[in-house]
Amino acid sequence: MYSVGHLAFGYLFGRASSKLLSVNVNVSLLFLASILPDVDLLIPGVEHRGPIHSIMILFLAFVPALIMYKKRAIPYFTALAQHSLIGDSLTAAGVQMLWPITTAWYGAKIEIASQTNVSLEWIFFIACLTVMLKTRDA
């Protein structure tokens, strides 16, 4: 998934969970959390969509925030987790979702430049923009 899709999904899921939990969120931090796993693109020797995209590693790294901020941290974790659980699991390359338990790659095998992926990203970008305007987050 391209960054636009990750940002849209992260915002929508983070915003929805903040609404359910009745907590305020910082939209900029939601956006940051939604693309954070792609830091692996900047680390030499680390495979993209590998260990840093593992939902297990992301959860372990987020435990201190969850302990410290409790339910106020959940929207940011939701924005972070969607990156691997939804965004990159749609792609043809897939993601090492359960590393280190297994190095298996999980994905729906949708090509990133396919009409399906581009359509999904546009749909969720428009949904994101609509929600941002309605909630005055824009």
Strand-pair partners of 91? 110
* Total tally of structural domains belonging to the chain: 1
The dihedrals phi and psi of 30, each to the nearest 5 degrees, come to -60, -45
Q: What tens-digit pLDDT sequence spans the chain (138 residues)?
A: 899 999 999 999 999 999 999 999 999 999 999 999 999 999 999 999 999 999 999 999 999 999 999 999 999 999 999 999 999 988 878 899 999 999 999 999 899 889 999 999 999 999 999 999 999 998
What kind and span of H or E run contains 69? Answer: helix 55-69
Q: Which domain holds residue 50?
A: 3-135
Based on the number of CB atoms within 10 Å of its own CB, is 18 exposed (0-12), middle (13-18) or buried (19 or more)?
Answer: buried
Note the pLDDT of residue 1. Answer: 86
Block residue for tokens 């959390």: 33
Residue 119 CA: distances (Å) to CA of 39, 87, 113, 125: 25, 13, 10, 10
